[in-house]
Structure 1
Amino acid sequence: MHLMILAALMWFKQNGIRLVVFENGVGGRADPSNILNPIIACLTEMTLDHQDLLGPTLEDIVADKAAIVKQTTQKLILGSANADVRRLVRDHVANTTIVALTEEYTISGYNDRLNYRSEYHNVAEQPLHTTALFQKQNAGTALAALEALMAYNVPIHWERALNALSHVQIPCRYEKRTFRDGLVLIDGAHNPYEMETLMKAMALDKFIPDRVVLSLTTGRSSLDMLKPLSQLNASFDVIASPFKERRMPKAEIHQAFTDLGLSWTYYDHLDLFLQTSPFKKQQTLITGSLYLAGVLRTYIIDADRKLHIKT
């Protein structure tokens, strides 16, 4: 990671790049990208996640992530709908103007439309490639960041930016794909909060899966991860993480499913699951792990491509 960032910074300098948008990895304080001194910083929604690295409490996590804000930072775009998170961020950030969701800008919208309102713009019925509220929240945060750049005379064409936003498709984040006469929803929700948010998005979208394919990893409770999914009348397939240090013990997974009264099937290897010819003529949810979501997304795309070549 350190070498990748060093290589990127060298490339930026050699090619005269004047504006860089850099995404942190995990947290902020110890992330290698924290050597940067941003003029504008953005924080999206925060919840209990990566607690083994960032700390056990929400305050610990907020403090770690807020460390991306430096003395040089003129504006912080705070894209959290959680009032407690916004309060904690304000406790840790001084001498920087904060532009916060629900305060300096708001978002709303039904289906795949976004309404965005701020001091500078009022956007109505902006088309998106998603119906999920959390993605609309992120889209609003991106628009607020563009407004901050425009305030510093960065030449941004607002209408072109909106047009670009209408074409954005984020892999593995409430992404739908048709495959084998079925519909697959891919979302890498990997903590209990994200799982609850995913369930709310599915309810609004009326997406009811027949099958749930997921991976459960260490660092979070299997029971807490499964609780939001327990209301589904679906079959559950659990695929073990290929990374042994991240693999949730099978006994803990078994206890969580037993506590919730859910039946499930366990696969030690992804190949064993793929031998069952999944995704046929049904609605499938893939979740629990961004790694699993990415691998199965690639499998679906490659298999679909091969099918089209044959036909």
Structure 2
Amino acid sequence: MIPKFDEYKSRWEIRSDDSIKPGLASMYHALQLLDHPHKNLNVVHIAGTNGKGSTLAFLDSIARGHGLTVGKFMSPCIMDVHDQIQINGTPILESEMDEVFRKMKYAGLSGLLTDFELLTCAALLYFSTKNVDLVLIEAGMGGREDSTNVVVPIVSIIPSIALEHTKFLGPTLESIAYHKAGIIKDGKPVVVGRVPEEALVVVEKEAILNNASLLQLNRDFRVENSNNRDIYINVINNVVINDLKRSRLLGVHQGENMALAITAFYLVAEKLALVIDHSKVSQGVSSASLPGRFEQVLPNIYFDGAHNPASAEMLVKTIQQQFPNEKIRFVVGMLADKDIATVLRILETISDEFFFVDFENNRAMQANQVINVSNAKNKQVIRDVVPFLKNASQNNEKCIVTGSLYLLSEIRQKMLVK
């Protein structure tokens, strides 16, 4: 369920299905009815298990620093459906969304699509009418059969590959890599982050099949001194960018996401005939931000959407880096289709105090079920999370809220009204 999305569907009497239906046939049909709004967009397409949002945030900030008007389509929402579709960091307005839905209504899209397909059409239609310079699109699930894969990008980015959505993407790294690699298009370069060897083989094969050049982290470009909190040094195709400013996105892995974004921007700049200014790259790195990625929302209270084992491991490393030897409490809510047991085992390596909460999502596992998966010594279910977090903040208790980005969105909304 996407907050406020159903309001537009109801107002404009457009039906769509809330299920997941991989495949692109419905999208191509709908886009034909809309007169192909996606075809004239300059796109960077991002698919991967983790790192999509951070890489997009770095790329957005760097591109806007160079004077580009940048559209973003992201998943899931931060507050509601409007912030999934942005231009230069500003969510689509209600009046603009109404205009998009009006066009989709009279194009005959009702009953043809799933919710996410309909939202993808809305984003592409919006960006085409606003004549943006660059569009950054984050795949919803997988890549090859994701509704966003109708675009032909300037460059594709695959930050990471790990086990996820195995019901739809398959049970192995190779099968998941096959879906991620599906965003690689004929003759269009792909930038790849740190991925397991068995996944990389699949991505390389797809690149060869599509005659697409592949730029790989630590082979074709690298980031140095990423553990240093004050300075990054990035080397891309023998071009050295020194003295990159400290990023607001914390964690050792963010240096790699930054490197992916800068490398991709070099390819974007080449396509758009832009001159890269290293000072603007540095400023873009320092100003990039992303809600829900080790984000401090109150003193001592942090949100991080670690929803799979790979992201949980990164969260643990970041906590150890930022808060060495400090006591940590976790507030957790998770979707039932995630690897809950493994995520909890990872988080339990640095804490034995867990608080489990419910949130509104038809895929969510109930807190009184998640608690039974936990091996923590001190664990309980809490019903009213906002007073709990505010009290912990005032008492100087470090709390990390994690498990699902949908959970973070719901708590954020509750905090604004209480």
Q: Normalising by structure 2, what TM-score?
A: 0.64
Q: Which residue of 2 aligns with 1:273?
A: 385
Deviation at 1:16, TM superposition (A): 3.4
Q: Distance in 2 between matches of 1:26 and 1:105?
A: 27
**Residue matched to 2:268:** 149
Change (3 A) 1:14 1:185: closer
Partners of 1:7 and 1:254 in 2: how far apart? 39
Distance in 1, matches of 2:281 and 2:199, equals: 28
Distance 1:173 1:222 in 2: 19
Q: Is the 8 A contact 1:210 1:284 kept in 2?
A: yes
Partner AA of 1:96 in structure 2: A
Match of residue 171 from structure 1 = 291
Which runs of 5 or more residues in structure 1 are unaligned? 307-311
Query: Could you say which residue in structure 2 is the equivalent of 1:191?
Result: 308
Report percent identity of matched pairs: 22
User: What letter matches 2:157 in structure 1?
Assistant: C
Q: Report the Cα distance in structure 1 between the residues aligned to 2:130 and 2:328, rounded to whole angstroms.
A: 50
1:99 partner letter? L
Amino acid at match of 1:74: K
User: Is 1:113 aligned with 2:253?
Assistant: no
Q: Say whether the 8 Å CA contact 1:189–1:198 is kept in structure 2.
A: yes
Size of the aligned set, in residue pairs, is 293
Greater RCO between the two (CA within 8 Å, min separation 6)? 2
Q: 2:220 matched to 1:101?
A: no
Q: Which moved more, 1:186-195 or 1:104-113?
A: 104-113
Aligned to 1:61: 176
Aligned-residue offset at 1:104? 0.6
Kindly indicate whether residue 411 of structure 2 is the aligned counterpart of residue 296 of structure 1. Answer: yes
CA contact (8 A) 1:209 1:285 kept: no
Report matched runs for 1:201-212 at 5 Å: 201-207=318-324, 208-212=326-330
Which residue, 128, 134, 155 being the options, matches 2:253?
134
- Per-residue Cα deviation, 1:263-283 (whole angstroms, up to 9, x for no partner): 21114x5xx233444433211
Residue identity matched to 1:155:
L
**Alignment RMSD (CA, Å):** 2.4
Aligned partners of 2:191 and 2:215 also within 8 Å? yes
Aligned to 2:358: 240
Once the two structures are TM-superposed, the CA of residue 245 in structure 1 deviates from its matched residue by 3.2
Q: Which amino acid aligns with 1:100?
A: Q
| Matched position secondary structure for 2:162 | coil
| Aligned with 1:225 (options 339, 343, 349) | 343
How far does the alpha carbon of each residue in 1:45-73 deviate from its partner, in whole angstroms, 9 at most, with x for none? Answer: 111112222221111111111111122x4
CA contact (8 A) 1:112 1:131 kept: no
* d(CA) in 2 for partners of 1:299, 1:137: 33
Q: Shift in Å at residue 248 of structure 1?
A: 5.1
User: Could you tell me the TM-score, scaled by structure 1's length?
Assistant: 0.85
> What residue number does 1:213 align with?
331
Paired with 1:37 and 1:212, the residues of 2 have a C-alpha distance of: 41
Task: Give the deviation of 1:218 after TM superposition.
Answer: 1.3
In structure 2, C-alpha distance between the alignment counterparts of 1:168 and 1:117, rounded to whole Å: 19
When residues 125 and 203 of structure 1 are mapped into structure 2, their CA distance, relative to the original with a 3 A threshold, is farther
